[in-house]
Structure 1
Amino acid sequence: MQLIDGKKIAKEIQKHLKQEIVQIDGRKPGLAFILIGEDLPSQTYVAMKKKGCQQIGIHSEVLSLPGDITQEGLIGEIDRLNRADHIDGILVQQPFPKQIDTAAIIEAIDPNKDVDGFHPINIGKLLLGVSGGFAACTPLGIVTLLEKSKIDTAGKHVVIVGRSNIVGKPLAALLMQKKQGANATVTIAHSGTQNLQELCREADILVAALGSPHFITADRVKKGAVVIDVGINRTDKGLVGDVDFNNVKQVASAITPVPGGVGPMTIAMLLANTYESYKKRCG
């Protein structure tokens, strides 16, 4: 059984990015975070991402806004960052307060600075297989994880349990592309899928991304399947994934742990997307 070490692979990617960035004369790539309110998990995530920037030489800044900010006020701050020459990427940390329309905020970000990959223009480019856009960081991290682990997806049946706009849908779009590192046959399942257990057992590559602790048990996994666990669930026993790791690893040919699997790749892809944006904007 192969343990897919996302932490190690992410470090290798960040090391390469650092080597590229250190050679830049003049201004470095810039990434701006917008943090709304006092949500503790959001503050933790932004701090982790900012630390990643510092480690490889990306300039970063955090704009902390009150939880009662109006939608117009938030869009005004985004517009300011859209016009800022020293900023190549903008990330507005979700979730948003109830008075904020998520779709409107995502659309307000310049698609060329949308390093999170959620703008409709970037999603459209992804679906069409058009180059030049940004893919969402977690799905891009999963595809990169499979490639770096020498797990071939061509012709394989990938079952993704979870249909979110953040993971499930963009991951399906990435894996079905007619290109190297993709070419998979993709099924998206969810909590309402009939015969879900049987469907999961048909997967050559099973991706758990539904946010339910230990939902994927050993009897839902085909012997020899690759299992990718996207879940991060806080429990009394600490962080656990959507996969019952200790039992599933007995039947899987390869599996990601939680923590240390997909999570570090998400940050690595955010940094990579920011560097790509910098290169595009600076020619």
Structure 2
Amino acid sequence: MGQIIKGKPVADAISTVLTKEVEELKAKGITPKLTIVRVGANGSDLAYERGALKRCASIGIETEVKELPENIEQDDFIAELKKVNEDKATNGILIFRPFPKQLDESVIKYIIAPEKDVDCFSPVNVAKLMEKDETGFAPCTPSAVIEILKHYNVPMKGKNAVVIGRSMVVGKPVSMLLLNENATVTICHSRTQDMPSVTSKADIVIVGIGKAKMIDSKYIGDEAVVIDVGINVDEKGNLCGDADTDSCIEKASMITPVPAGVGSVTTSILAKHVVKACKLQNNLV
């Protein structure tokens, strides 16, 4: 029987370090600021926003929310985004996606200022992630996965890591981050043949496929570490991950729960990126 590894200790450890860093910045007359750009009032966006605002407030980061109407036209959205880009007080920008259908993400991602793009929306930061350029920003959720592995002293160097899912939100970026930690990475997806034969050989399994409780113990090798990035609602209306925790824990050495796992670390990573952006913009790194 494996160990449930929760996100809160990881988030708290990150926040403790950040609080001290923000105090040092404020002593220099600098206050880090995050501006959130949200179109409409999607429930999951609002839930994440509340968590982000609470986390930033506890650390001492200033925040602003720019709420735009659901029916905003592209030109108007771009004009608003450019204002945030140009706001000297704003160090980090978080834009909620996906957008309503009238907004073209393929255009907008080139508008956000890369140096303020703290969740890897800009192609510039995607390229920096590929190049292991520390001046860029990886997406917050994949970064949270790596922080959890480090916090719980899970070795990555030379280990076999399988990522289930190939999205630009989780699968591909977390694969790059694992490569940057010198893991040997395999990506599985909906077209992978005999997936359990691949995943059961892994030391580390990252699950982000978007299907409730799809991954059970037959996908998991003995003593593997399972990080569940999925968030779904089961038939009883309860939150659950992409992994069946009760089944997987029979073989896994460690597994993150849903809720209280990866998601609880993500807002701390967001805050970490805002502080990093602030330091870079003030030539303090």
TM-score range normalised by the length of the shorter chain: over 0.9
Conserved? CA contact 1:35–1:93, under 8 Å: yes
1:66 matches 2:69: yes
Name the CA distance, whole Å, in 1 between partners of 2:43 and 2:253: 36
Find the partner of 1:95 among 89, 95, 98.
Answer: 98
Name the CA distance, whole Å, in 2 between partners of 1:42 and 1:148: 27
Alignment of 1:48-127 (within 5 A): 48-127=51-130
Corresponding residue for 2:161? Answer: 158
Q: Which aligned runs of 4 or more in structure 1 are off by greater than 3 angstroms?
A: none
Name the CA distance, whole Å, in 2 between partners of 1:60 and 1:247: 41
1:190 matches 2:189: yes
**Which secondary structure does the structure 1 equivalent of 2:222 belong to?**
coil
Conserved? CA contact 1:27–1:86, under 8 Å: no
Per-residue displacement from partner, 1:161-219 (whole Å, max 9, x unpaired)? Answer: 01110111111111112xxxx10110111111111121111111111101111011011
Conserved? CA contact 2:125–2:138, under 8 Å: yes
Write the letter of the residue equivalent to 2:76.
Answer: G
**Which secondary structure does the structure 1 equivalent of 2:110 belong to?**
helix
Corresponding residue for 1:2? Answer: 3
How many residue pairs are counted as aligned between the two chains? 279
Per-residue displacement from partner, 1:210-262 (whole Å, max 9, x unpaired)? Answer: 11110110111111111010011023241000110011111101111111111
Corresponding residue for 2:49? Answer: 46
Corresponding residue for 1:254? Answer: 254
Find the partner of 1:131 among 107, 130, 134.
Answer: 134
TM-score (norm: length of structure 2): 0.95
Unaligned runs of 5+ in 1: none
Write the letter of the residue equivalent to 1:200.
Answer: T
Corresponding residue for 2:23? Answer: 22
Instruction: Give 1:38 shift.
Output: 2.5
Write the letter of the residue equivalent to 2:12.
Answer: K
TM-score (norm: length of structure 1): 0.96
Instruction: Give 1:141 shift.
Output: 1.0
What is the RMSD computed on CA atoms of the aligned residues?
Answer: 1.1
Conserved? CA contact 1:46–1:93, under 8 Å: no
Corresponding residue for 1:231? Answer: 230
Conserved? CA contact 2:10–2:147, under 8 Å: no
Unaligned runs of 5+ in 2: none
Instruction: Give 1:132 shift.
Output: 1.1
Name the CA distance, whole Å, in 2 between partners of 1:276 and 1:222: 37
**Which secondary structure does the structure 1 equivalent of 2:243 belong to?**
coil
Instruction: Give 1:11 shift.
Output: 1.2
Corresponding residue for 1:203? Answer: 202
Write the letter of the residue equivalent to 1:65.
Answer: L
